[in-house]
Amino acid sequence: MLFSRPSDTALYDALLNRDPNWDGQMFVGVTSTGIFCRLSCPARKPKPENCRFHETAAECLSAGFRPCKRCKPLEHGMEPLVADLSARLNAEPGRRWREDDLTALGLDPSTVRRAFKRQLGVTFLELARLRRLQEGFTALGGGERVIDAQLTANYDSASGFRSAVSKLLGLAPGAFRDDALLRCAPISTPLGPMIAIADDHALHLLEFMDRKALPTELKRLSERTPGGLGFGQTKPHASIVRELDAYFAGALSAFETPVTLSGAPFAQSVWRALQDIPMGQTRSYSQIAEHMGRPSAVRAVARANGANQLALIIPCHRVIGADGSLTGYGGGLHRKRALLDLEQRAS
């Protein structure tokens, strides 16, 4: 962008004042509702700790937020073509759009694709699918039955909905049970949507939804858990949502939500060593091995680090290469850098 991004405090003041000068330049995602708005939105204002500010609508969508139906952030300040189709999508969020539908409107699908990619970062058809799937998955996370979530997402085909959810989670909705002890729920964060799995007592998994290993992790967790997995929320879900909000606001240095560590004794000892790394600091694999009294176990430490299923809580993002490079991170190097920057500021 061509302007310097102001502080969140200044942006929140603009939100309270419904300042139209920021329309099209900044958006606010509200974690308590899962909605994103223009700063001039006339809706009731959220608490500051529930606000996440983004520079583009695409960032809001990638973070798991849905567009507000009052201020219609996808339609403001857009090219006429993008604004018109966005309005149509908001009017029929469950419609199954195809290229033939665009042709029937007298539009060239390739022109539409380029225009949406240029202004929103996603194509129109991708945006339409994402909107429908978000609605369905949110319904599942709220405890609705699979058939109800399918209807909420306006999927005409049960197999189509199962296929979409399977692609996202690696498990079909039918694999999730109503009587399961472990419950899955989505969580919106400034760095993208996460999924949390917990029983009534502890959190078992916390991962970014686009992590490539997530489907394998969910399948493994389902297979080793009597009764499999279900959708819904428990007390640990509510706890981790509150703590994540505080963490991303720079007001939390240690998580206290109870967790269950599922791994071999050595892996668990590595994860505990990771939790010993102070916020704002980093360690190399060799330094962790030395800290554990196992200086020759560098590769084993690296494998255990990669097997962590509790992102942020067990801070594997604080591990860097011996030469200071970021090295790999399951959530993506862009997130690793953002997390380290956040923690350095907070500390």
Can you give the pLDDT at residue 1? 39
Residue 194 pLDDT exceeds 50:
yes
| Residue 189 vs residue 201, higher pLDDT | 201
- Would residue 37 show up in a list of annotated catalytic residues for this protein? yes
CA-closest candidate to residue 247, choices 307, 204, 202, 187: 187
Give whichever of 82-86, 97-101, 200-204 has the largest mean pLDDT: 200-204
Residue 2 pLDDT exceeds 60:
no
Convert the pLDDT of each residue in 304-341 to its tens digit: 998 999 999 999 999 988 888 877 787 778 788 889 98
Mean pLDDT of 258-285: 93
CB 202 within 8 A of CB 154: no
Cα 37 from Cα 65, distance rounded (Å): 9
| Residue 35 vs residue 134, higher pLDDT | 35
Mean pLDDT of 261-277: 92
Can you give the pLDDT at residue 169? 72
**Marked catalytic residue, from 41, 51, 60, 316:** 316
Instruction: List C-alpha distances in Å: 216 to 166, 199, 213, 222.
Output: 11, 20, 5, 10
Single pTM value for the model: 0.62
Please state the domain extents for the chain. 7-74, 78-171, 265-346
Q: Quick one: tokens of 86? A: 């966005």
The architecture (CATH level 2) of 78-171 comes to Orthogonal Bundle (1.10)
The architecture (CATH level 2) of 7-74 comes to 3-Layer(aba) Sandwich (3.40)
Burial class (CB in 10 A: 0-12, 13-18, 19+), 167: exposed
Cα 137 from Cα 335, distance rounded (Å): 23
Cα 154 from Cα 257, distance rounded (Å): 35
Mean pLDDT of 148-159: 72
User: Which residues lie across from 52 on neighbouring strands?
Assistant: 29
**Marked catalytic residue, from 37, 41, 51, 184:** 37
CATH topology of domain 265-346: Arc Repressor Mutant, subunit A (1.10.10)
For the chain, what percent of residues have pLDDT higher than 70? 87
Say yes or no: do domains 7-74 and 78-171 share a fold. Answer: no
Convert the pLDDT of each residue in 213-237 to its tens digit: 888 888 888 888 777 788 778 899 9
Cα 23 from Cα 63, distance rounded (Å): 19
